[in-house]
Structure 1
Amino acid sequence: MGFVLAFGVVSMLADVVYEGARAITGPYLATLGATAVMVGFITGIGEAVALVLRLGTGPLADRTRRYWPLTIAGYALTIVAVPLLALANSLWQAAALVITERFGKAVRTPARDTMLSHAGSEMGRGKAFAIHEALDQSGALVGPLLVGLAVGVSGYQLGFGILAIPGALALASVLLVRRAVPAPEHYDHHAARAHPRGADGQKTRAPLPARFWWYSAFTAASMFGFSTFGVISYHLEVQKVLPSALIPVSYAVSMGAAALAALGSGLLYDRVGLRGLLIVLPLTAAVPFLSFAIEPGLVWAGAVVWGAALGFHESTLRAAVADLVPAARRGTGYGIFTAIYGLAWLAGSTIIGALYAESRMGLIIFTVATQVLALAVFIPLARSAGTQTQRK
């Protein structure tokens, strides 16, 4: 419990940095000449880099078990890249820094999530990931508010530059947690038996179960219709739905909703299992009706709904992976899962950006159709879960 809380504080500080930046990325790219399709592609490829490259960093964490060096290096990349956005003077410089920040997330997350899954083995993984995500999202609430204030005072450059301060605090914090808890896997006695030090590595090459692949397909189908905030914030900027200084505030509202949804979804998962994840489908389907409206009231409601869906995706969906793959292949499982997730989000966000430019009704139809597809994919997964329960 102590490790989960401490790492939650690290993630909270880091989230002030990169979620503060994400809140203004879309409008900032627009000021540098980006179109809606370009914003969708740049933010989508950033998310894909953050997720797909875990195909390499996940197995690397399993093979080396050097969870802390990977985690610290990943945080350092993010903390350096974000403030440098204040100095970007072209669209492609800004795009490169956005993608570099996401690369840092790819480096650290499989190792970090593996440590969290070990530390949360006794308290319940749904609860552990929910607590971590709630603390994480509290930073995502503060970051956009801080950036919004800075943008209102002096523009986007100050908005990015001020994030160097919480970045330095985040890096100092993760080093302190590393010193206090050098080996979180020791909390997980089952994992220690499944993958003792000195094992010959055969277990790390065991095939992943079919339920993991069905679960990954379900998540990919849902994420295929989930817009990045970059496209939403682009809409808010170019349509002048909200003043520029209020766009990051709307993102802060999303992060508050994500924190609450993460807590609720984590507890629900520990009680009812995978069935609790179905709530994410109607939430995602509602996003285009609200977030791409031109009425401010609907947009604020959309901020809550989009954030709640994100809270499910970034907490409970991660917790489920640890229960679907062998302990010795957990880093690999996270890497593959998030790679599939990221490719789906990249493709979907690019399509959503293109549809936004052509037809809002087409955007709505596309989003709803993807969630219906996700529901269809979930049926074999639910049946397999029921079969396993009967066998027990």
Structure 2
Amino acid sequence: MNGISRPEDDAVRKKAFAFIVLFGVVSLLADMTYEGARSLVGQFMQVLGASAAAVGLAVGAGEFLGYAIRLFSGKLADRTRRYWTVAIAGYAVQLGAIPLLALVGRWELAVLLIFAERLGKGLRNPSRDALLSYAASRTGRGLGFGLHEAMDQIGAFLGPALLSLLFLLTGTRGAGSEATYRLGFALLGIPAVLAVLAVLAARFLFPRPSDLEASSHAPHLGRTTFSPAYGWYLASAALLAAGVADFPLVAFHLGRAGALPEPLIPALYAGAMAVDAGAALLVGVLYDRIGFAVLPVMWTLEVFTAPLLFLGGPAAVVAGMALWGISMGTQESVMRAVIADLVPHDRRATAYGLFHTVFGGAWFAGSALMGLLYDRAPAYLVVFSVTVQVLSVMALLIAWRVHRREHAS
């Protein structure tokens, strides 16, 4: 009977695929909301009287808080087994904060809402990834997480694009009209409400996504601690995050160096987001077909990103942003799929929470350090980035070897 697909297996697989697509719709709508808001909030705070330092500190601190809470929320979800409750609460807090920006009159209140939005995202992400991992065991984890990331990135593109259209239609120029910003945040309440309704529909239609987990994809069910392979993988991911340059720093360099005309810089970012979506799907399928071996190749591509972006001319910058987009797509799809293959299902939310907390902390620290190094000379930034990325590949190879040994035993 080997190789023969049973009708009940096909039915479960179709149900799992439907769950992933529905959650993809949730993420598409959610990303429309908060990525749209992120494209306006800096300018809006400026209109309200905030300084550049206040904007930078608020955004950076919000990101840190959003990653730091993930370890707590992951443990909470695994301990209580209330994955849906934690996820829905996170979506409600995150998406509810954004339309309220239309009502604030002081930049300090806007900062509080920015913190609420980031904390809401941090609260729901580990539970969301755990729920997705169950269904993705039936479709192929790479494909499942890749499809979800692709739909996520469609929303990340649509939100800012539609708000740009709003500004064009209203004829807003320069610092912009405060009324137009408020209208933009209010309009983002529409996809926010739809996203919450979609996640409630998913909860109603799929009350127990863990039932979709394929038994052959539930590793080490008796294990009470994380495996050494997970530890090495976590170290590799942290090094990778520390060496990735944030796009604001890339944009700052491109503007100062004149490597590209300023109007093309946002278009370059949009192109990277399109590459992100395509790479998430492609790399996900490759992971399902050839397994862990695809990861060292993707990690190695990242080594070349900083030299191309910070030391090259226009053609090199375009190539570097393409690699940057591939890296983002890999991080948001296959990196999550691997965790599901390394960790038992009853500790998966904790594993995702720990992963995101370490990853975010390393990204924050690496970004801050690269900013300081760039002020000295772009070459210093490049040397740092390449060094930690090479170390990341080495740690990943160790994780692969340890995983193969654990799997063999």
Distance (whole Å) between structure 2 residues aligned to residue 111 and residue 212 of structure 1? 19
Q: 1:69: which partner in 2? A: 85
Q: 1:132: which partner in 2? A: 148
1:269 to 287, 292, 299: 287
Distance (whole Å) between structure 1 residues aligned to residue 255 and residue 105 of structure 2? 20
Distance (whole Å) between structure 2 residues aligned to residue 353 and residue 90 of structure 1? 29
CA contact (8 A) 1:30 1:234 kept: no
Cα 1:192–1:268 change in 2 (3 A) is: closer
1:110 to 126, 133, 141: 126
Distance (whole Å) between structure 2 residues aligned to residue 135 and residue 272 of structure 1? 24
CA contact (8 A) 1:214 1:381 kept: yes
2:327 to 309, 313, 337: 309
Distance (whole Å) between structure 2 residues aligned to residue 248 and residue 78 of structure 1? 25
Q: 2:226: which partner in 1? A: 208
AA aligned to 2:225 is P
Distance (whole Å) between structure 2 residues aligned to residue 332 and residue 182 of structure 1? 20
Q: 1:166: which partner in 2? A: 191
1:228 matches 2:246: yes
Which segment drifts farther, 112-121 or 377-386? 377-386
AA aligned to 1:67 is Y
Cα 1:83–1:341 change in 2 (3 A) is: same
Q: TM-score, normalised by structure 2?
A: 0.81
Q: 2:202: which partner in 1? A: 177
Distance (whole Å) between structure 2 residues aligned to residue 90 and residue 294 of structure 1? 42
AA aligned to 2:89 is A
Q: CA deviation at 1:323?
A: 0.7
Cα 1:294–1:278 change in 2 (3 A) is: closer
Q: CA deviation at 1:180?
A: 1.6
Q: 1:11: which partner in 2? A: 27
CA contact (8 A) 2:86 2:127 kept: yes
Q: CA deviation at 1:296?
A: 6.2
Distance (whole Å) between structure 1 residues aligned to residue 52 and residue 362 of structure 2? 22
Which segment drifts farther, 132-141 or 161-170? 161-170
Distance (whole Å) between structure 2 residues aligned to residue 283 and residue 23 of structure 1? 28
Q: % of aligned pairs identical?
A: 40
AA aligned to 1:82 is I
Q: 2:272: which partner in 1? A: 254
After superposition, what is the alpha-carbon deviation per residue over 1:178-200, rounded to whole angstroms, capped at 9, x for unaligned?
2222221111253999999xxxx
1:280 matches 2:305: no
After superposition, what is the alpha-carbon deviation per residue over 1:44-101, rounded to whole angstroms, capped at 9, x for unaligned?
4433333331111111111111111211111122212334445667665554433332
Q: 1:34: which partner in 2? A: 52
Q: CA deviation at 1:347?
A: 0.5
Q: 1:383: which partner in 2? A: 401
Cα 1:283–1:87 change in 2 (3 A) is: farther
After superposition, what is the alpha-carbon deviation per residue over 1:250-298, rounded to whole angstroms, capped at 9, x for unaligned?
4332221111110011111112222212233344334434555796665
Distance (whole Å) between structure 2 residues aligned to residue 90 and residue 58 of structure 1? 33
SS in 1 for 2:299: helix
Which segment drifts farther, 369-378 or 13-22? 13-22
Distance (whole Å) between structure 1 residues aligned to residue 21 and residue 363 of structure 2? 29
After superposition, what is the alpha-carbon deviation per residue over 1:117-151, rounded to whole angstroms, capped at 9, x for unaligned?
11122221111111111111111121221233334
After superposition, what is the alpha-carbon deviation per residue over 1:302-357, rounded to whole angstroms, capped at 9, x for unaligned?
44332221110011000100111112111111111111111111111111222333
Q: Which has the higher contact order (CA 8 A, sep 6+)?
A: 1
Q: CA deviation at 1:221?
A: 0.4
AA aligned to 1:165 is I
After superposition, what is the alpha-carbon deviation per residue over 1:101-123, rounded to whole angstroms, capped at 9, x for unaligned?
22111111111111111112222
CA contact (8 A) 2:137 2:217 kept: no
Question: Which of 1 and 2 has greater Rg?
Answer: 2
Q: CA deviation at 1:43?
A: 4.3
Q: Superposed, which structure 2 residues align to 1:294-333 within 5 Å?
A: 299-333=317-351
SS in 2 for 1:121: helix
Distance (whole Å) between structure 1 residues aligned to residue 82 and residue 149 of structure 2? 23
**Structure 1, unpaired ranges of 5+:** 197-202
CA contact (8 A) 2:31 2:156 kept: yes
SS in 1 for 2:333: helix
1:100 to 109, 116, 125: 116
1:373 matches 2:398: no
Count of aligned pairs: 381
Q: 1:200: which partner in 2? A: none
1:81 matches 2:87: no
**C-alpha RMSD of the superposition:** 3.3
**Structure 2, unpaired ranges of 5+:** 1-16
CA contact (8 A) 2:90 2:121 kept: yes
Q: 1:340: which partner in 2? A: 358
Distance (whole Å) between structure 1 residues aligned to residue 336 and residue 99 of structure 2? 28
Distance (whole Å) between structure 2 residues aligned to residue 21 and residue 224 of structure 1? 26
Distance (whole Å) between structure 1 residues aligned to residue 151 and residue 163 of structure 2? 19
CA contact (8 A) 1:23 1:229 kept: no
CA contact (8 A) 1:225 1:368 kept: yes
